[in-house]
Amino acid sequence: MSVVDIHQGRSPIILGLPHTGTDVPPEIWERLNDNGQLLADTDWHIHELYAGLLSDATTVRATFHRYVIDANRDPSGTSLYPGQNTTGLVPETDFDGEAIWKEGEAPTEKDIAYRLQHFHAPYHAALAAEIDRVKAIHGVAILYDCHSIRSHIPFLFEGKLPDFNIGTDMGKTCDPAVEAIAVDVTSAAEGYTSILNGRFKGGWTTRHYGQPDKGVHAIQMELAQCTHLKTETPPFAYDDDKAAKLRTHLKTILTRMEDFALALRP
C-alpha cells in the first residue's frame, strides 16, 4: 500500500490532503471497534471537491486513515490546542469522545513509533520535497491545507461551526496578503459563514511549514461538511449541487493565491 499519493504540478500552489485517506491495514482494522470502523472522522470527499480547481497545482494526499496515525499532528505528540478537547497523534477516541478501539487494543508506544516511521514520516517527506521543488521553480510556495469536519461536534466546539474556517496560527504562517485573500473571498460568499483563526487555527502541517520569511506560506481551510455533503452521517454522500456552488469560491481563492505568488517571482 502506498501511503502517499503525489501529483506534481508547476503552479506555486500545493494542496495538502492529510485526512481524506480511508486505507487501514488489516492488522490495524481488526483492532478497531464497530464505532472506529465507521471511519466517521474522515475528511469526506475533500480530494474530489478540490479536483481540477487549479489545473497545475501539486497535490500531496495521505492514503491512510487518521485513525492509523494523524498526519496533521505533531510527531512528538504535543497537543495543538492545550486545555481544549482534541484528538491526538494516534487517536484513542473519535470527535465525539467515544472509544474507537476494542477493549485492550488501543495502540501502544511501539505501535505509535512504527506508524510514525511508516506512515507519518513518508507523508511529510513527500510534502516537504514538493514544497522544496515548487519553491525552486518560483522562489515561493503556498501550501494550502485542505480539511473538512462535521458542522456540529459538541465535544470539540459549541454550536454550529462556520462554513469556512481559515487557520494561519494568528497570522504567523503566511503573508498577510495570503490570509486576506481567503478572508475576502469567504466573507463575501453569499449564503456562507466564515471565521479566521477561530476554533481551528491551523494544524501541525500549517504551523510547521509556514515560514513566510523564507518564502513558504501555509494556510489551512477547514470546511464544515454541510457545505458539500448530502448528510454528515453514514454514508457521507457527496452532494454535487452543494459542491458545485462551493467550488466556485474555492477556485477563486486558489486562483488569487496563485496570482499573488506569481507576482512575487523575481
- In tens, the pLDDT along 154-164 reads 888 889 999 99
Query: Residue 265 pLDDT more than 90?
Result: no
Confidence (pTM): 0.95
- CA dist., res. 50 & res. 85, Å (int): 29
pLDDT tens for 10-59 read: 999 999 999 999 999 999 999 999 999 999 999 999 999 999 999 999 99
Q: 197 burial class (0-12, 13-18, 19+ CB within 10 angstroms)?
A: middle
Q: How many CB atoms neighbour CB 160 within 10 A? A: 12
**Tens digits of residue pLDDT in 96-155:** 999 999 999 999 999 999 999 999 999 999 999 999 999 999 999 999 999 999 999 988
Q: How far apart are CA 71 and CA 68, in angstroms?
A: 9
Q: Which amino acid is at 230?
A: K
pLDDT at 85 over 90: no
Characterize the bridge pairing of strands 58-62 and 13-17: parallel
pLDDT bracket for residue 84 (50, 70, 90): low
Confidence of residue 81 (pLDDT cuts 50, 70, 90): low
Could you tell me if 63 and 5 are in contact, meaning their C-beta atoms sit under 8 angstroms apart?
A: yes
Residue 79 has pLDDT above 90, yes or no: no
Residue 83's pLDDT is what? Answer: 55
Residue-wise over 19-49: b if at least 16 C-beta within 10 A, else e? bbbeebeeebeebbeeebeebbbbbbbbbeb
**Percentage of the chain with pLDDT > 70?**
97
In this prediction, residue 61 carries a pLDDT of 98
Contacts 24+ apart (CB under 8 A), 260-265: 260/142, 260/175, 260/177, 260/178, 260/181, 261/12, 261/13, 261/138, 261/140, 261/141, 261/142, 261/217, 262/12, 262/138, 264/138, 264/139, 264/140, 265/138, 265/139, 265/140
**Size of the chain in residues:** 266
Q: What pLDDT is attached to residue 47?
A: 97
Split at pLDDT 50, 70, 90, the class of 78 is confident
